[in-house]
Amino acid sequence: MAFDSFSAFMVMEGHGPYVWACYAAFFLLMIGLMVGSLRRRKAAVEACRRGYELQEGPQGPQAASASAASFTRVRVSQD
């Protein structure tokens, strides 16, 4: 579709306001989704970091691993 001028392109034979409003809504929603996703990611990373720091305790990471349950690997023969 060819237009005679830029203003004819913007108006699009009367359909311009609808088309440009749809583009604007799309881009605003995409920006909103990206900002929301980045905020959620930052909050999740921060929550994991806080949980890890609480798990470590004041003595450091060795104290937390010493109090954790230990498991031993069992070898199973395939005879």
Rounded average pLDDT per 10-residue block, the chain, 79 residues = 85 90 97 97 92 72 59 79
Name the amino acid, one letter, at 71: F
pLDDT recorded at residue 57: 65
pLDDT recorded at residue 67: 57
Q: 7 lies in a domain? A: no
Q: 37 lies in a domain? A: yes
Exposed e or buried b per residue across 47-72, where buried means at least 16 C-beta atoms within 10 angstroms of its C-beta: eeeeeeeeeeeeeeeeeeeeeeeeee
Note down the domain range covering 36: 16-55
Q: 49 lies in a domain? A: yes
43, two tokens: 């909050």
Q: Looking at the 3D structure of the chain, how many domains does it have?
A: 1
Q: 76 lies in a domain? A: no
